[in-house]
Amino acid sequence: MKKIKALLVDLDGTIYQNGKLIDNTLITIQKLNKNNFPFRFITNNTRKSRQSICLYLRKLGLIIDESYIYTTMYAAINYCKKNNLKKIKIISLTDEYKNDVSDIDIVESKPDAIILGDLSEKFNYYKLNEIFIELQQGAKLIALHKNRYWLKNNNITLDLGPFVSLLEYASNQQATVIGKPNKKFFEIAAHDFKMDYANIAVIGDDIESDVIGSINTGMQGVLVKTGKYIEEQVEKSKIKPNYIIDSFSHITKNLFNDEF
């Protein structure tokens, strides 16, 4: 196994949980900076812009430049530009995405593509049918991710993935999935590192989204026992992380021979 020389780090459930930084996260980030160790944050969060995430992290005590954060919306907008999809309808629970949008035409009808984010409890028959009709009329479906579930108020709850699958089945169209575990998302986030993917580790709490995505991209997958980690599911899974650690801070044991 190659030496880890850079990190891609998940946010919710890995860096923070329930509005607080997970133990020793701040110290770990400080150590990474002190050692000039390259890292970036990656998230499937469909509700917040990069700017908003920076402000949120700052409130938690973590000062990070916006350029260190890669969101699925940011990647989806760039995908649309590269593929000449000009009229875009964005389905999102909030309008924070506007901070990450530039040089595309946001429309409410007759779109070239629909960027689908999570609507949580606002997903209903009428909204899903509206999207279905536009897909039937030729719009392409771009899903910000396809996670099965996420952790909300310490409870497992449905995420975007089941609704993406519903729309795929109804419209007989395969969605373009932008976020984790899509290889392209990891490659975009790792672009600044300019190194062999085998030297990059992805750290997260989701064995499907974070670990399998990293391994399929040729990176090392590190699973943390925080966030939505469920031991029974990990034991039954055919996916085998390169490392399983108690929390994000324990990565420094490998990097800097810490005592954690």
pLDDT for the residue 11:
97
Task: State the DSSP H helix or E strand holding residue 78, giving kind and residue range, or none if neither.
Answer: helix 72-82
pLDDT(254) > 50? yes
The chain-wide mean pLDDT, for the chain, equals 91
- Say whether 72 sits in a helix, a strand or coil: helix
Give percent of the chain with pLDDT exceeding 70.
98
Per-residue confidence band for 37, with pLDDT thresholds at 50, 70 and 90 = very high
Q: What integer pLDDT is reported at residue 78 of this predicted model?
A: 85
pLDDT of residue 129: 97
| pLDDT (average), residues 96-113 | 85
Contact (CB, 8 A) for 19 and 117: no
Non-local (6+) Cβ contacts of 199 within 8 A are 2, 3, 4, 5, 6
Q: What is the pLDDT of residues 169-196, one digit of tens each?
A: 999 999 999 999 999 899 989 989 999 9
Could you tell me which residues are beta bridge partners of residue 39? 7
Average pLDDT over residues 61-89: 92
Q: Residue 197's pLDDT band (boundaries 50, 70, 90)? A: very high
Task: State the Cα–Cα distance between residues 64 and 70, nearest whole angstrom.
Answer: 12
Q: What is the pLDDT of residue 260?
A: 46
Whether pLDDT at 259 is above 60: no
Q: What is the pLDDT of residue 170?
A: 97
Reading the block at residue 1, the tokens are 């196994």
Domains in the chain: ranges and CATH:
6-44+181-256 (3.40.50.1000), 84-177 (3.40.50.1000)
- pLDDT of 204 reads 97
Percent of the chain that is helix, strand, coil (3-state, to 5): 40, 20, 40
Least confident range from 33-37, 74-78, 102-106, 108-112: namely 102-106
> Which single residue is written with the structure tokens 């279905």?
132
- Find the range with the poorest average confidence among 54-58, 82-86, 163-167: 82-86
Rounded to a whole number of angstroms, the distance between the first and last alpha carbons of the chain is 21
